[in-house]
Chain A
Amino acid sequence: MASCWWRWRRGCSWRPAARSPGPGSPDRVGPCGPRPAATACAQISYFNLVKSLTSAFPNMYSISRLHHTTLAVDCCSKTQSGEKYTDPFKLGRRDLKGLYEDIRKELLISATELKEMSQYYFDGKGKAFRPIIVVLMARACNTHYNNSRDVQASQRAIALIAEMIHTASLVHDDVIDDASSRRGKHTVNKIWGEKKAVLAGDLILSAASIALARIGNTTVISILTQVIEDLVRGEFLQLGSKENENERFAHYLEKTFKKTASLIANSCKAVSVLGCPDPVVHEIAYQYGKNVGIAFQLIDDVLDFTSCSDQMGKPTSADLKLGLATGPVLFACRQFPEMNAMIMRRFSLPGDVDKARQYVLQSDGVQQTTYLAQRYCHEAIREISKLRPSPERDALIQLSETVLTRDK
């Protein structure tokens, strides 16, 4: 269902005019094409309607998706860029040729086994989701600033570093969660043991830090250092749980931001800093990354319930087994308060995991979480649309759509 109403996109321009036109919220940065006032008005009224309906966030239960559909049709009526539909992944991959080879070069050390362990996940079989967003964002910002679409070497380096930091945290997370498979293969800890796996993670982090320092920009170093801190703090947040329902939701979203979105947001910001001196653009890049990142994780949490193990490359209901209550569970808990006790004991009693899974599937937890993810994507599109049009900007819009429709 998400896919049908998101299909509208394809090179058309999404107007952020609907945003309350208060001070300090420029609806578009830089010069933009002419736009028919009437359409804009229609959009404003529509958006406000949706907004008023959804303002009770996150208490939105049954909001019709009709509004979005109408909105989409409305928007599709004018196509601004003549660019043909492009697969965002394809567009991004041009700049990422040799990405994994280059990462492996950063990890060339004399200890053969340690090298093998730290290069293990850089086998070119990953989605490279983060690097693709980063290079697309780099080109979008460069085009916006001086119409030069080329990706600078330093911006490409950020794509490498983002993937490295991500992988380093995966290696440690897998030890923490005692996970045995990832991306359809055994985890580092299962093959080489916990002791060595932790060192492999540390090694990747150190290599990423060296690459980061070599870019030679102190602002960029600070931006990406924030990610490392957020990743650790997010992991700490995951240790604790809140009793109060509202606090629990805020806690969940904060954890989601720190563990997933911060990396995307800050690496987008880093390439924008390298490509363009305007702080407004940096904020757009950051907000886009943050919203896409949260949406990405929300869908990930949904897939943990709806997907089968083969697709994910890792076992499903994994979060429940780890005692984690993600979005679908928190929504389901509103319909089935008896889940509260299970959440508090972190699904530790025999049968808890299965029962919770059943409750979630009976409830509208999955739909609600998907809907929440849609809202974050919406926000991401609204932000990125403030940049001047370019195939990469449109690919980023396209990409936020695929975040919602992915099944693995």
Chain B
Amino acid sequence: MNVYFFTFAALFYFLAVLAYLSYIISLKKIVSNIGLALASIGFASHTLCLLTRYVEAGYTPVTNLHESLSFFAWTIIAIFLIANLRYKIRVLGAFLTAIALILMLFAFALPKEILPLAPVLRSFWHPFHVTFAFLGNAIFTLAFCCGVMYLIQEHQLKSKKMGTVAKRLPSLKALDDLNYRALTFGFPLLTLGIITGSVWAEYAWGRYWGWDPKETWSLITWFLYAAMLHQRLTVGWRGRKAAIMAIVGFVSVLFTFLGVTLLLPGLHTYSNW
């Protein structure tokens, strides 16, 4: 059942990407509203997918790579829909729905069977850990998109071009504000993710911290974002520097999530994909 909802969601994310791309070309507001509607339908279906999988499996479905990618895509769309309530940055939709769609396609290619839950994952803390961690990741994804757009817009302004590209991107201030806002929400979530993770580690393996690659890299990511926040508040790392840091931070997030899982064997490595 969940696979049907999953496919349906992926299909609607795809249509949303198409709508947002045609918005970028035409700049017609109605087209971006269609994109938003399609993404919302996809999100609803995706939510049903997660719920049915939870019921079918009997545990929070974030235990293998298929489930994690799918959950990551879900949090990205969730964050996008929430951000959209406050910040009317329509182009953002094109970036975030596209990233979610790519994650969905990878997830689709991976084994989707529901397997018995490994004993270590059977914990009260596990769902909290993954929810905080992925919500943080999704917010950092949004910051990454803002960073990329900022660098493009800044380059347009510095090189004195006011052409088609510049016209389609938000103002520097809007992008920098959203980047900062993302940092102030994402950083606490990442911190909570790490704390709940270490509490869970204490239950699962009998120690809070074991320098397993995943733990090490999440700490590196945490330090990156901590530095970013600190520099911003003290010496005013905003604008260009903040945009670059958002991109660097996101690379670190991605590596912690995927790179470590695929390249560096450790306790977090998913056994079944």
Partners in one complex: no
Contacts from A to B (Cβ < 8 Å)? none
Chain B residues with CB under 8 Å of chain A are: none
